[in-house]
Amino acid sequence: CGLDSVVPMRDKAQDIFPMKYDMVIIRPGAEEVTVWNQLHG
């Protein structure tokens, strides 16, 4: 998974699984991810 490459030392128990209208954004050098939902803006 690309997330394992970007944030290998994360707590995988806190992972979320994006659905149809979600997009996960991982900025360069980030220590966290941003989840954006198309329906909720």
Residue 21: pLDDT band with limits 50, 70, 90: confident
**CB-CB contact of 7 with 33 (8 Å):** yes
Radius of gyration for the alpha carbons in the chain, expressed in angstroms and rounded: 11
Count: domains in the chain: 1
Q: Which domain holds residue 30?
A: 2-37
DSSP-assigned beta bridge partners for residue 37: 22
Neighbouring C-beta atoms of residue 22, cutoff 10 Å: 14
pLDDT at 39: 81
Residue 18: pLDDT band with limits 50, 70, 90: low
**Predicted model pTM:** 0.40
DSSP-assigned beta bridge partners for residue 34: 25
